[in-house]
Structure 1
Amino acid sequence: MTLREQSAASVRVATFNTHHGTAPDGRPALDACLRLLDDLAPDVIALQEVDRGWRRSGFADQPARYAEGLGGRALFAANLRLPAEDDPAQGGAVRGSRAAAREYGTVLLTRHPILRAAHHPLPVPHGAEPRGVQVALIDVRGVPIRVAGVHLHDGDDAVSARQAEEVLRRLAADEAAPGAPEAPEVVLGDLNAEPGRGGHRVLLDAGFADAWAIAGTGPGRTFVDPESGSGARIDHVLVRGAAIVSARVGSLVPTPSDHEPLIVEISPRG
C-alpha cells in the first residue's frame, strides 16, 4: 500500500514532530512540512512543536497554514505562551488579535467532522516545559474515533509515566461522558520514550497496541540526532479497539524536521 492508497474501510492516522516548522539547521521549513502533509493525506494527524507568532518561524500562524494545507480543521493547543516578539518587517510589535503572545504547542488536524474536543494540562516538574493532551472524538466516514494527541516530557521516565496515566484518565472521562459512543481509541504523538519505557509502558499495560510492533518492519526510528546520526523510536501510534493494518515511517517527500512521520492504517471494524 503506497502512502496515497487507502481502503475505504481503513482510517489513516499519523504523528509528526514538526520542529516548529524549521529545519535542524535553522532554515524555514513550513512549506516543506506542508508538502509532506499533502503527501501523507491523513484522516487524522497529530503535530508537535507547532508555533504561532514566533520570530524563529517567521511569525507564521502555523495551525492556520496546516488547516489550509489539509483542507480541514486544526485544533491548536498552546502549552506555552510567552510575550510577543518584535517583527522588524512590521515596524515593531506584531499587530492583530494575537499580538499579546506567541504560542507553542500541539495540533490535531483532520478533514473530518469533530464531534467534540478538549485540551487538558499534564503534570510536569517545577520549571519544566508545560505539556498537555488533546482529546477529540472525530467522525471518520461515519465511524467515531477517539483520539489523544500528546507530546510527553523528555528525559524522565517517571514523569512520562505519570503523564500517560493522566492521558488514560482523560480518555476514560471522555468515554464516560453522557451520550458518548463506543469508539476505537488512538494515542498519537511524540512520547519521548522508547518502546517499553515511561509513558509507552503505561499505555501498553492499559491494553493499547503499539502499531509499529504489530505492523512495522525494521527499527522504525522516528528521531535522528542531526549531529551524531543516532536515532530512536520515540514517536508512537498506539491503538485500542481497532485492527492495525499497516505502519510505516517516512514519506515520499524529504522530511524537513529532525523527526520522521509515522503513518498507520487502522480498521475500526476489524
Structure 2
Amino acid sequence: MLRVLTLNLQHCLPGAGAGDGTAASGSLAGADIRDPATARAVLTALAEQIAELAPDVVALQEVDLGQVRSGRLDQAAVLAELLGWCHRRFAAAWAGPVTGLRRRPLHSALARPADDVLGPARAVFGQGPVGFGNALLSRYPITAWRVMRLGRGPATLLRRGNPIDPRSYRLFTATARNLLVGRLEPPGDVLPGVGVLNLGVTHLATRAETAHRQLDSAWGALTTLPGPHLLAGDFNLSTETVAALGVGRLLGDGPTFPAANPVRRIDHFLSDPLVGAPPPTAGEAAVPEAGAPGGSLPAGPRLRAVGGGTRAFVVSDHAGTWIDLEPVD
C-alpha cells in the first residue's frame, strides 16, 4: 500500500490546526514566520503532524523558497530534512520575491543563481534564489523529474471609487502555474506489480475556465508517460466539476476548504480509468468514470484507493487530504 498526502502549504502560514495542541511545540496560532527560527518551528510542528499520518509521498502547493515572508527558508528542503527523506524536488512557477518583480525561471529548481535571470545579480549581494511553486517529497526513490508550464489566466482590472480617476483602478495579473512530475519507484511489496508510478502535483488557477484548460493540459501531459498515473493537488474546482470534465478518475473524498470548517473539496487525486471496474471502495469518489484524452486508455496497471481522509494541519487555510493506494487485482 502507498499513502499519498496532498496539501496546499499556503507558504506555511499558521492556520486552523495551529492551536489544536497536537504538536509538541504547542500552540503556534498567530506565529510570525518572517522570523527564521519561528518559521522553522512551524515546519517542525508540521513535520510532526505529517509523521503521525505516515504518508509515503507528500505533494505540496504554494511552497516558498527564500521568501522574506516565510523566514527565507527553502521550505521543501527543510520539511524533507525533518521527515528524514532524501527524495524531493521543488518546481518554481515563478522566480522572484512575492512583493517584487516576478519572472519566469530559467530552470524551475532554482538550485543555482543561473536558474534565474536575475540570480547572478542577487548572488553578488550574497542573496540566494527566490521563488514560489510546487514540490514533491518521497520516502522512496524518484528517479526522474519533469516540469511543464501550464500558463496563466487573463489579468483582472478592478475599479474602486471614481470611474474617471485613474488611481481607482488596479490591475491584478494571474499567477503562473506548472506541473511537477516524479517517476516514483516504490519497493515491490508496496505496490505489487507496479514498478513505476508517474506522480504529478499541480496548483490550478482560481478562475474556473482557466483551471479547466490547465487540468486538461496537465492530465494529458502526465498520461503520455508509460505506466500508471496519479495527479494530486489544489485544483480550485469542486468534485462535481472535475467529474463532469471527464478527465481521469477521481479518488478520495471529504471536504478540504476552508480548513477551519471544510464545506467543499477542491484538493483532489486523479488516476487512470478502470476497465470493467467494481463499484468504488470507501476511498473512491462515486463519480462517472472517464477516459484518457482522445478516448484511449493509458497502458499499465491501474490503482484504486482503499482508504483515505482529511485533516487540518498546523499550517494553511486548506485541510490536507490523503489516499491509500493499491493495485487493482
Normalising by the residue count of structure 2, what TM-score does the alignment of the two structures yield?
0.64
Distance (whole Å) between structure 2 residues aligned to residue 84 and residue 128 of structure 1? 13
Q: Which residue does the alignment assign to 1:192?
A: 236
Determine the structure 1 residue equivalent to 2:90. 76
Equivalent pair of 1:211/1:244 in contact (CA under 8 Å): yes
Deviations 1:80-123 (A, max 9, x none): 211599xxxxxxx9879982542111101101111211111103
Deviation at 1:144, TM superposition (A): 1.4
Look up the SS of the partner of 1:77 in the other structure: strand
Does the 8 Å contact 1:211/1:239 carry over to 2?
no
Q: For residue 196 of structure 1, give the secondary structure of its aligned residue in structure 2.
A: helix
Question: Is contact 1:209–1:238 with CA below 8 Å preserved after alignment?
Answer: yes
Q: Deviations over 1:139-190 (max 9, x none)?
A: 1113311111011111x22111100111122113323xxxxxx3x2111101
Which runs of at least 4 in structure 1 moved beyond 6 Å after TM superposition?
93-98
**How far apart, CA to CA, are the structure 2 residues paired with 1:11 and 1:96?**
44
**What is the letter of the counterpart of residue 134 of structure 1?**
L
User: Which secondary structure does the structure 2 equivalent of 1:65 belong to?
Assistant: helix
Q: Aligned-pair distance for 1:239?
A: 2.3
- CA drift of 1:55 comes to 1.2
1:222-261 correspondence to structure 2 within 5 Å: 222-224=256-258, 231-240=263-272, 241-250=302-311, 254-261=313-320
Q: Percent of aligned positions with the same letter in both sequences? A: 29
Match of 2:24 in 1: none
Q: Is the 8 A contact 1:70 1:110 kept in 2?
A: no
Is the counterpart of residue 14 in structure 1 residue 27 in structure 2? no
> Structure 1 residue 63: deviation in Å?
1.3
Match of 2:222, SS? helix
Deviation, structure 1 residue 200:
5.6
The CA deviation at 1:71 is 2.0
Paired with 1:98 and 1:44, the residues of 2 have a C-alpha distance of: 33
Structure 2 SS opposite 1:121: strand
- Does residue 239 of structure 2 align to residue 164 of structure 1? no
- Select 2:204's aligned residue among 149, 152, 158: 152
Q: Which residue of 2 aligns with 1:136?
A: 182
AA in 2 matched with 1:163: Q
User: CA separation of 1:97/1:16 partners in 2, compared to 1, >3 Å: closer, same or farther?
Assistant: farther
- Displacement after TM superposition at 1:243 (Å): 1.6
**1:237 CA displacement:** 1.7
Pairwise CA distance, 1:70: 2.3
Over 3 Å counting, the alpha-carbon distance change for 1:94 and 1:206 in structure 2 is closer
Unaligned stretches of 5+ residues in structure 2: 16-29, 34-41, 100-120, 155-172, 189-194, 273-301
Q: Write the distance in 2 (CA, Å) between the matches of 1:109 and 1:97.
A: 31
The one of 42, 51, 66 equivalent to 2:64 is 51
CA distance in structure 2 between the partners assigned to 1:98 and 1:35 by the alignment: 32
Aligned partner (choices 248, 263, 269) of residue 322 of structure 2: 263
After superposing the two structures, state which structure 1 stretch, 49-58 or 118-127, moved more: 118-127
Structure-2 change in CA distance of 1:31 and 1:166 (3 Å): same
SS of residue paired to 1:189: strand
| Secondary structure of 2:174 counterpart | coil
Alignment of 1:117-132 (within 5 A): 117-126=145-154, 127-132=173-178
Aligned-pair RMSD on alpha carbons?
A: 2.7
Give the whole-Å Cα distance in 1 for the aligned partners of 2:127 and 2:309: 40
Query: Cα offset for 1:52?
Result: 1.1
The question of whether the paired residues in 2 share the 8 Å contact of 1:41 and 1:70 is answered with no
Q: 5+ residue gaps in structure 1?
A: 1-9, 86-92, 176-181, 213-219
The answer for the alignment partner of 2:247 in structure 1 is 206
Write out per-residue CA displacement over residues 34-72 of structure 1, whole angstroms, 9 at most, x where no aligned residue.
Answer: 222222221111011111111111111111112112222
TM-score (norm 1): 0.77
Flag the 1:75–1:200 CA change in 2: closer, same or farther, 3 A.
farther
CA contact (8 A) 1:66 1:74 kept: no
